[in-house]
Amino acid sequence: MAKGPVLLVEDDPSDARLIQRAFGKLDATLAMIRLTNGDDVVSYLSGEAPYENRTTYPLPSIVLLDIKLPRRSGFEVLQWLRRQPTALNRLPVVMLTSSRHSVDINRAYDLGANSYLSKPETAFQLEELAMRFQSYWLGINESPDLLGNIAKLNRS
Amino acid sequence: MSDRSLPTILLIEDEASDATLLRRGFEKAAVRNPIAHLKDGDEALAYLAGVGQYNDRTKYPLPVLILLDLKLPGMTGLQLLQWLRTQKEIRRIPVVVLTMDDSASTVNAAYDLGANSYLVKPGDPAEIGKIVEAIQRYWIELNEPPPLVIGAKNHGT
């Protein structure tokens, strides 16, 4: 099964440009959707207007999520996502943020982040990050099924 | 040679041949983190809970990453994962499932119980090296682990 696009949630235009450039250099065909605030992510993932059309706005296979965002923060988005009553709640989320504070890292894992990456300082390091991210999450990792039934097992 | 100052990787794997291949893969990928290997679910729980002989965290340090097979003697991998995610101190430790089982229902159940990632063991032993290398490059070198794992308790929960 073809993997869906990467959903990049980043409000800072220059960070977003650098990230998109790093991924684009790696694979020009890699689909990446960018949103700039938490409320739009919730609308997008819920398929609410203007994102009803899944052909135009496909479900992502993974989310790269900043913490500091206008309106809903990255943490609020993550919490909302993991509480969805549908299989969408399994969507893998990787935090990508400039914060390396222990409280933020712990909170991200507690809310169900799959992984936590800190934004690198240089363009070279960012390309390296993009490469490793892509070959891991879009390469060897088995994605969950986002449309199936949810197991009768309780998330703690 | 492993370096005891680096954080430990906990490998929970009952198949001796798979464990050997994984360990060899780590050596080849020049991973210097110590690898603690446990062969059954109950033993893994004891290690993580720090009971019995595992009470000594200098000898049996908390891991920075858990590689978890699902089919295990004693408690299954999924049961262990479910238990881990309810624990106060250690619940955030990243868990990468590494198993032969590639059925969608098992993959989904693992994510539902809080697995960070799910990898399927390649049928070809030669491919194991690639998986190990990817684990090292992503989880050991790139990912920010939860700070509590390292043993610092400076941030209460």
Model pLDDT, residue A119:
97
* Cβ–Cβ below 8 Å for B144 and A116: yes
Q: Is the dihedral of CA B38, B43, B47, B52 positive or negative?
A: negative
Pull the structure tokens for residue B83. Answer: 């238990």
How confident is the model over A39-95, as pLDDT tens digits?
999 999 999 999 999 999 999 999 999 999 999 999 999 999 999 999 999 999 999
Tell me whether residue B20 is in a domain: yes
- Under the phi-then-psi rule, with left for phi > 0, alpha for psi from -120 to 50, and beta for the rest, what region is A47? left
Does B122 contact A at CB distance below 8 Å? no
Does A125 contact B at CB distance below 8 Å? no
Model pLDDT, residue A29:
85
How confident is the model over A100-114, as pLDDT tens digits?
999 999 999 999 999
- Which residues of chain A are within 8 Å of residue B91 when distances are taken between CB atoms? 110, 156
Is the Cβ–Cβ distance between B119 and B127 less than 8 Å? no
Model pLDDT, residue B151:
45
Tell me whether residue B131 is in a domain: yes
Q: Which domain holds residue B26?
A: 8-150
> Which residue pairs, CB below 8 angstroms and at least 24 apart, start in B23-29?
B25/B128, B25/B129, B25/B131, B25/B132, B25/B133, B26/B132, B26/B136, B28/B129, B28/B132, B29/B129, B29/B132, B29/B133, B29/B136
Model pLDDT, residue A32:
96
DSSP 8-state symbol, A72: S
Domain ranges in chain A are: 6-139
Q: Which chain A residue's Cα is nearest to B79?
A: A153
- The ipTM (two decimal places) reads 0.93
Does A1 contact B at CB distance below 8 Å? no
pLDDT at A2 > cutoff 70: no
Model pLDDT, residue A23:
95
- Which residues of chain A are within 8 Å of residue B85 when distances are taken between CB atoms? 155-156
Distance from CA of B15 to the nearest CA of A (A): 21
- Which residues of chain A are within 8 Å of residue B113 when distances are taken between CB atoms? 153, 155
Secondary structure (3-state) at B60:
coil
Q: Percent of chain A scored above 70 by pLDDT?
A: 94
Q: What is the mean pLDDT of each run of 10 residues along chain B (157 residues)?
A: 88 94 90 94 96 94 97 95 95 97 96 97 87 95 82 38
**CB-CB neighbours of B27 under 10 Å:** 14
* Cβ–Cβ below 8 Å for B111 and A144: yes
Residue identified by tokens 């994962």 is B81
Model pLDDT, residue B123:
84
Distance from CA of B150 to the nearest CA of A (A): 12
Model pLDDT, residue A3:
75
How confident is the model over B19-45, as pLDDT tens digits?
999 999 998 888 899 999 999 999 999
- Which residues of chain B are within 8 Å of residue A114 when distances are taken between CB atoms? 116-117
How confident is the model over A99-151, as pLDDT tens digits?
999 999 999 999 999 999 999 999 999 999 999 999 999 999 999 999 876 65
Model pLDDT, residue B153:
38
Pull the structure tokens for residue B29. Answer: 């990928």
Tell me whether residue B3 is in a domain: no
Does A141 contact B at CB distance below 8 Å? yes
CATH code: domain A6-139 is: 3.40.50.2300
Model pLDDT, residue B125:
81
Strands B63-68 and B35-38: unpaired
Does A105 contact B at CB distance below 8 Å? yes
CATH of the domain at B136: 3.40.50.2300
- Which residues of chain A are within 8 Å of residue B155 when distances are taken between CB atoms? 102-103, 106
* Cβ–Cβ below 8 Å for A117 and B142: yes
Nearest to B102 among A140, A142, A150 (CB): A142
Is the Cβ–Cβ distance between A146 and A88 less than 8 Å? yes
